[in-house]
Amino acid sequence: MRIETNSTEVAIAHVPQTSYVKPLNPTGLSAKSVLSIQRTTAQRGLVIALSFAACLVSSSTLAQTANILNPKSDSPDVPRKRKAQKKIELSQTKTDPFAKFENLRPKGMWLGIPGPADTIDQDAGGVRSALANVGIGYVGWTQNSFANNLLPNAARSTIANQLYNGQNPTFNTVNYMWTTYDLSRYGIPDGQIVVAAEQQYWTWKPGGPDRIGIDTISYYQTFFDRKLEFKIGYLPNQNEFAGTLVGGNAGANVFGPSANILFQGGMSNNPAPTPAVNLKFNVNDRLYDRVSFQRSISPDGQFVQLTQNPTGLNWSTPNAGLLVLNELGYKEKAAVGVPDTWLRAGAGFNNSNYNNLQYPNGPRADENSFYYVAADRQLWQTAAQSSAARGIYGGFTVMYAPPDLNKVTEYYELRLYAKGLFDSRPSDQIAVVATDTVWSHFAVDAAAAKGSLVHLDSKAISATYTAHLAPGVYLNLGLSYIDHPTSITYTPQTGHALNFSASTAVFF
């Protein structure tokens, strides 16, 4: 398990857990039979959802392809409309040479990945244009991070015995390559296929571990004039739900530790994508309801998930079941006099077989859940006429998970950040984030009973500055003070940390 505080991560050694399920049930079946039936039901439910989704896609695709192949289906106005649209696209291309790539950027995520204009290669040699002409787009990037505790007497150890990120000087690199294919050229509304890979390496293995495998394999399209968005495949739902990245920009590379509750609850992420069907219902331009039927990651944690399935291609891992996610949200982009606003609330329900912290000697339980509420609001626009998104923002996050099945049971975050605060640095970001991570009282009591020094929570405050140095090049510098950076148990030497962090993100 790990806790990430902006660019600084506080990782926690995994503590083996066991769980308890009531030995009797109304049906008279054994616990083993009940769990088997539940797993089978969950798997059949996911297969039915996948089959239904595939029928939707194939029906829509066949109908729209038939229209393309049958010229008589076009009304007399269609050729004129197409010519008018081509004129508009040509006009946009003349004013913005990168506009023609817009439809090739990954769709359906809250995560903001820089477009071709903000890459180091842009359209050098016309390679990107040549690929775009046949419907292919791409984006790749590398993130390299370093963390080190500046406090003296930090109980330095060997890397193998390290308890948290930064206790010893710690380095990690994460590298991505995404390729998209435009299906709208065949008449499929907003249609897109994405195939992406991810590779990561850590000097401190519990922070990772090392892996190379898929990040995403997905099919996306819209229905009913974009009222319904549909995505299916191996998905990292970290990029689809909750919004754990301060400022929403991958270049800023500022992640809050709130993601820890989501991952222990089974949500998939970039190193651990899983099969899923995602549906987003757009009530209007601002209100939405997003639902996912996702194969859970391992209930034993991220480290176990990556160890058992490093490539990400396996359908499932031991004890993993079905996770159902739902998020209601209100999102409005900044405009002149209109502040950027994003409100969201969500829940996840997971029938995976979890170890039970309340009854450590009993069998596994299968009724885990988590809940979250988050909000971000632009408080002041610094350059409304030229760039409405620039300004000062405030936000908060509150998360909860039941303490009997989850080591992290509560999480609170307050954030204040600025985008383009200075005219001379219009795309830099500054962030100050305060967090409080609360541990399960069952886990705390169990550790105290063994005579260990324990604490109920871990508080942190972080300040980071992200400089946009050149197209596609970002540098993030941060300083974080963490009260109790380890998990639950600690020693006097590991009671506090002052982590300096530095990271780069380079996009191509």
Report pLDDT digits (tens) over 209-221.
Answer: 999 999 999 999 9
Q: What is the pLDDT of residue 87?
A: 54
Longest dimension (CA), the chain: 83
Report the distance separating Cα 359 and Cα 362, nearest Å.
6
- At residue 506, the 3 state secondary structure works out as strand
At 51, the pLDDT band (50, 70, 90 cuts) reads very low
Mean pLDDT of 479-508: 93
Answer yes or no: is pLDDT of 23 > 70: no
Radius of gyration of the chain (CA): 24
pLDDT score at 491:
86
Residue with token string 């477009």 = 115
Q: Please tell me what DSSP assigns to residue 246.
A: T
Higher pLDDT, 34 or 172: 172
**pLDDT tier for residue 492 given thresholds of 50, 70 and 90:** confident
CA 413 – CA 398 distance, rounded (Å): 7
Do 305 and 317 form a contact (C-beta atoms < 8 A)?
yes
The secondary structure of residue 448, as a DSSP letter, is H
Provide the 3-class DSSP secondary structure of residue 313.
coil
In the chain the domains, ranked by start, together with CATH numbers, are 2-507 (2.40.160.180)
> How far is Cα 48 from Cα 51, in angstroms, rounded to an integer?
5
Here the tokens at position 255 are 């992640």
**pLDDT of 9 over the 60 cut:** no
Q: How confident is the model over 326-350, as pLDDT tens digits?
A: 999 999 999 999 999 999 999 999 9
The pLDDT of residue 161 = 79
- Could you please report the per-residue DSSP string of 2-31? EEEEBTEEEE-----------S--TT---H
CB 452 within 8 Å of CB 439:
no
Instruction: Round to whole Å and give the CA distance between 134 and 331.
Output: 33
The string of pLDDT tens digits covering residues 287-321 is 999 999 999 999 999 999 999 999 999 999 999 99
Estimate to the nearest angstrom the gap between the alpha carbon of 236 and the chain centroid: 6
Closest CA to 190 of 170, 218, 156, 167: 218
Residues 6+ apart with CB under 8 A from 192: 106, 107, 180, 181, 182, 183, 184, 219, 220, 221
User: How confident is the model at residue 257, as a pLDDT?
Assistant: 53
274-282 vs 341-350, strand pairing mode:
unpaired
Per the DSSP assignment, residues forming a β-bridge with 229 are 222, 280
- Return the percentage of the chain with pLDDT > 90, whole number: 72
- Which parts of 254-367 are beta strand (E)? 274-282, 287-295, 322-332, 341-350
Look at residue 29 and tell me whether its pLDDT is greater than 60: no
For residue 159 the two structure tokens come to: 């890397």
pTM of the model as a whole: 0.81
Taking a C-beta distance cutoff of 8 angstroms, is the pair 481, 497 a contact?
A: yes
End-to-end CA distance of the chain: 31
Q: Which of 97, 238, 110, 108 is nearest to 174 (CA)?
A: 238
Token pair, residue 244, equals 């754990």
| pLDDT tens readout for residues 79-111 | 454 455 555 555 554 578 999 999 999 999 999
List beta partners, residue 3: 10
Q: What is the DSSP string of 375-409?
A: EEEEEEESSTTT-TT-EEEEEEEEEE--TTT-SEE
pLDDT value, residue 206: 86
What does the pLDDT look like over 117-146, one tens digit per residue?
A: 999 999 999 999 999 999 999 999 999 999
Lowest mean pLDDT among 53-67, 108-122, 124-138, 254-268: 53-67
Assign 63 a pLDDT band (cuts: 50, 70, 90): very low
pLDDT, tens digit, for every residue of 145-181?
Answer: 999 999 987 777 666 678 899 999 999 999 999 999 9
Question: In the predicted model, what is the mean pLDDT of residues 440-466?
Answer: 95
Three state DSSP letters for 250-266: CCCCCECCCHHHHHHCC
The pLDDT, as a whole number, for residue 249 is 77
Which residue, among 211, 274, 224, has the nearest Cα to 46 in the 3D structure?
A: 274
Cα 313 from chain centre = 18
3-state secondary structure of 475: strand
- Of the candidates 19, 20, 37, the one whose C-alpha atom is nearest the C-alpha of residue 28 is 37
Retrieve residue 472's tokens.
């596609």
Name the strand (E) or helix (H) holding 498: strand 496-507
pLDDT bucket at 16, cuts 50 / 70 / 90: very low
Which one has a higher pLDDT value, 46 or 400? Answer: 400
Helices (H), 70-192: 77-95, 127-133
Length of the chain in terms of residues written: 508
